[in-house]
Amino acid sequence: MSNSSSIRPTMKQYNLMNYIAEFISIHGYGPSYREIMSGCGYSSVATVAEHINNLIARGHLRKRDRSARSLEVISIPEPDKIVTKQLNESEEKWLVEKLELFFKEQEAATVLESSKIDELYVLVGALKVLGLDGPAYMFIRRLTELKEKYEDRKSKRFVS
């Protein structure tokens, strides 16, 4: 019978662990639950807490009692590998620059279209599929902000 630490995390939990590990490597301390919520595109802190508690129970994360920003990634199991064409450095740079351009266009747009936001979700997903996790997480935060801006503008139109 397998123990709880051998249970593979879900894709969302895997992404959450990668986000935490990357955040720690950049900042030198763990992210807050709100930073995780924003950075991973969750809609509530409770969802973040649920995923974190499950990952702690499975042995993938550790957290010191009564200590803020104390999350620590113990292990990140490798997901099942899918063979894809590997991008070279210039292709990666081109793709990230192209996505940056699309984001700037939408962030500057006076009218936001739902279909354009959906396209950005697909493009950010492509970054993840291609293994470009770092840029994907950067764009996820911007995509969350863009989606909130769209929802805010949409609700103001119906109120007026």
Output the pLDDT for position 1.
Answer: 40
Q: Which residues 6+ apart lie within 8 Å of 20 measured at CB?
A: 30, 31, 36, 61, 71, 73
pLDDT confidence band for 2 (50 / 70 / 90): very low
The tokens describing 128, both together, are 């993840």
With a CB cutoff of 8 Å and minimum separation 6, the contacts of 106 are 112, 116, 117, 120, 146
Q: DSSP character for 104?
A: H
The CATH T-level fold of domain 4-73 is Arc Repressor Mutant, subunit A (1.10.10)
Which residues make Cβ contacts (< 8 Å) with residue 63, sequence separation at least 6? 52, 56, 70, 71, 72
Per-residue pLDDT reduced to its tens digit, 3-56: 444 577 778 888 888 899 888 888 888 899 999 998 888 889 998 889 888 888
73: which DSSP letter? E
Judged on CB neighbours under 10 Å (0-12, 13-18, 19+), 68 is exposed
User: Which pTM does this prediction carry?
Assistant: 0.47
Which pLDDT value is given to residue 97?
Answer: 93
pLDDT in tens, 87-98: 788 888 898 999
pLDDT in tens, 103-142: 999 888 888 788 888 888 898 888 888 888 888 888 988 8
Residues 55-71 have a mean pLDDT of 81
The domain spans of the chain are 4-73, 89-159
